[in-house]
Chain A
């Protein structure tokens, strides 16, 4: 079955860079129409899509965060890594790794989430 798990720091200082790793199993990121992305949720707020990388290495970013985000994949390790630069307390959120199914056109599997707090 498909599983995804986020890993990374729980506490980051303002202006620092956040690197989150998604380790997945049950599918291959070389399969047509598959993608892995990131969605975050500040405490008590709604969901915000951040980035996605597709089977063909196409990458898309939230326009409002594009200058700060980078997404990459390591298919040999079944991992997707997202980096976000110049962190601000407003970036405090739970960060979810998600599986994109291009046939359903939906995020059909989610990781458990990783809470990242930005504070000095």
Chain B
């Protein structure tokens, strides 16, 4: 299985801050990398697919970049509704695997 390592595991930020989360797979996955947001008690929501494509309806303050073994999710100006846990997931190989999550706190 491809191991997905996210960093940091948690971070504290303020409204308006620029936030960056990193995801590193254990092997190259081209751009087969997706990002999800999960709020407490809710199902995850797809934010970014194929490393950098914004899912329909997702605010443009979210962006993704990277390829191979180094990926980044950026929130350009953190909003109150963005406080949540974020997961990366590779869809390059079966089984699809997720990172351990990054909790974004106030």
* A46 near B43: Cβ-Cβ < 8 Å: no
Say how far A1's CB is from chain B's closest CB, in angstroms.
Answer: 11
* B50 near A110: Cβ-Cβ < 8 Å: no
* A63 near B95: Cβ-Cβ < 8 Å: yes
* B91 near A113: Cβ-Cβ < 8 Å: no
Report A-chain residues with C-beta under 8 Å of the C-beta of B97: 49
- The number of chain B residues with a CB under 8 A from chain A is 23
Report A-chain residues with C-beta under 8 Å of the C-beta of B46: 104, 106-108
How many residue pairs at the A-B interface have CB separations less than 8 Å?
A: 53
Asked whether A11 is an interface residue with its Cβ less than 8 Å from the other chain, the reply is no
Distance, CA A108 to CA B45, complexed state (A): 7
**Contacts A96-B43, A107-B34: A47 and B89 contacting too (C-beta < 8 A)?**
yes
**Contacts A106-B49, A106-B91: A49 and B43 contacting too (C-beta < 8 A)?**
no
Asked whether A105 is an interface residue with its Cβ less than 8 Å from the other chain, the reply is yes
Say how far A11's CB is from chain B's closest CB, in angstroms.
Answer: 19
- The number of chain A residues with a CB under 8 A from chain B is 17
* B91 near A46: Cβ-Cβ < 8 Å: no
Report A-chain residues with C-beta under 8 Å of the C-beta of B44: 47, 96, 107, 110
* A112 near B43: Cβ-Cβ < 8 Å: yes
**Contacts A104-B49, A104-B50, A105-B50: A60 and B94 contacting too (C-beta < 8 A)?**
yes
Binding site for A on B (CB under 8 A): 1, 32, 34, 36, 43-46, 49-50, 53, 55, 87, 89, 91, 94-101
